[in-house]
Amino acid sequence: MNFVSKKPGAIRWVVKLGGSLAESEVLSRWLDALAETTVVIVPGGGVFADGVRAAQARFGFDDRTAHAMAILAMRQYALMMAGFCPHLTLAADLGRLSAAARKAERAVLWLPDPKAVDEREVPASWEVTSDSIAAWLARRLRAERLLLVKAAPIAFRGAEFERLGSAGTVDAAFAAFAAKARFETWLCRREDYNRLDRGLENPDAAFTRVIAGA
């Protein structure tokens, strides 16, 4: 089923699949559920990003190098996703990604490239992870909504940017990227793949809205 925006040519949803989903049996189920929609999928970093952290601690290279390697870790996770679900459309360049997403009949999977992520907008810091990069991409694509699929337990009541950051549910920089964005931010659990169709059409029925605190 396709979910088409009321705005001609608009990208309605960017969906970020957390790297920790790879540790459970639900990743393939999410990909199968997403494949027939018209969302843009952003990969997390997962074990691949953990490898970068471990390598930096061991070898001592700088944060700018680690940041580029972490973006490539997201790309590795995306390639693994594509191996699980070959029906996805793949795109790395942001222009091609945007064009593919606006005319897509199925989901488009982003293959992150350090050269495509503007260092002036996305600083090289471990406070910036795939959560914030997904928010940055949603802004660049002028998407209407961003959905974060989380494997960790989530306290959905009081889903405020600052509170989620303090709890470690999202990264420390996420609020700065998303709190004042034009797109809406939503959360769901890893078990909610069977509610995806309903949620993409009517997010209040299946997902939880993230809001700015008082």
| Digit-coded pLDDT (tens) for 127-155 | 999 999 999 999 999 999 999 998 866 65
The SS3 of residue 78 is: helix
Beta pairing partners, 148: 16, 187
Examine residue 178 and state whether it is found in any structural domain, yes or no: yes
Does 14 reside within a domain? no
Mean pLDDT of 74-102: 94
Q: Is residue 60 part of a domain?
A: yes
For residue 5, tell me if it sits in a domain: no
Amino acid at 48: F
Residue 24 is part of a domain; what is its CATH number? 3.40.1160.10
C-alpha distance from residue 43 to each of 48, 96, 128, 199, 214 (Å): 11, 17, 14, 20, 31
- Classify residue 12: in a domain, yes or no: no
Q: Which domain holds residue 203?
A: 20-210
Number of domains within the chain: 1
For the ranges 3-12, 29-38, 116-125, 199-208, the lowest mean pLDDT is seen at 3-12
CB 78 within 8 A of CB 43: yes
Predicted pLDDT of residue 9: 67
* Residue 200: Cβ within 10 Å count: 24
Domain contains 77: yes
- Determine, yes or no, domain membership for 6: no
Q: What is the pTM of this model?
A: 0.93
What's the pLDDT score for residue 214? 53
